Amino acid sequence: MLFFITALIYHNVNYLTILWYYFDMEKKKIITLAGSLGSGKSSTAKRLADILNYEHYSTGDFMRSIADEKGVSLVELSLLAEEDRSIDEELDNKNKEVGKKENVIIDSGLGFYFIPQSFKVFLKLDPKISAERILKDKQTNKNRQNEASQDFDTEEGIMKIIKIRQESEKKRYQELYGIWDYTDPRNFDLIIDTSLLPLEGVVDKIIEEYNNWLKG
């Protein structure tokens, strides 16, 4: 919440509007999941949707669809988006549409920004562990196999890809939304290091905290 008010100030929204927004905003039955590449966002979101009987949406899937249309990898799409505003606009509109619903889970890097009424979760993971997981997942996950070129064939290459995507996203988010660090803990209601818990443990923790948040 603090982050969202700061963003409004950055964009020269007057203080009365900010106060109105803060006190008028009601919680929605939406969980937004952000996190490091390879941290388990997709698996976690799908499992949460199954248990809660919520709809599941994924910005990653939206991005893969756009990348496939353009015949590029996700990394190349991120770099294209630095020059082509329409790519982020399309993704932004997807987030906004989901934000109009209830009983949904969306794994989205900017879900916390576009759906501030949601329960906002960040899944963190050390880049080296992320690379190990992605390389293993690549053997059976078709999406991973199509994500990049030969750089996705080694842990070192994957860590390079992670860094390039993060730097590209930070640059775009600063320029477009005034978000200086989209991984800032203050943007989220819950942060989980997924190296410390199995998938079911992560899901159980999110559901527990989500229910507490709804009651609060």
CB 38 within 8 A of CB 163: no
Q: Which of 117, 87, 113 is CA-nearest to residue 100?
A: 117
pLDDT recorded at residue 100 = 92
Q: Does domain 29-215 have CATH number 3.40.50.300?
A: yes
pLDDT recorded at residue 9 = 46
Q: Where are the domains of the chain?
A: 29-215
Helices (H), strands (E): how many in the chain? 11, 5
pTM of the prediction?
0.79
Question: Running DSSP on this structure, what letter comes out for residue 189?
Answer: S
Place of tokens 């294209």: 80
Digit-by-digit pLDDT tens for the chain (216 residues) are 555 545 544 444 444 444 444 444 688 999 999 998 889 998 999 999 999 999 999 988 888 888 888 888 877 888 888 888 888 888 888 889 999 999 999 999 899 999 999 999 999 999 889 888 888 876 666 555 555 555 667 888 888 888 888 888 888 888 888 888 889 999 999 999 999 999 999 999 999 999 999 998
Q: Per the structure block, which two tokens stand in for 93?
A: 């509109």
Between CA 185 and CA 187, with CA 186 as vertex, the angle to 5 degrees is 90
Taking the C-alpha atoms of residue 33 and residue 178, their distance in angstroms, rounded to an integer, is 20
pLDDT recorded at residue 20 = 40
Distant-in-sequence, close-in-space partners of 63: CB < 8 Å, separation ≥ 6: 74, 77, 91
pLDDT recorded at residue 142 = 57
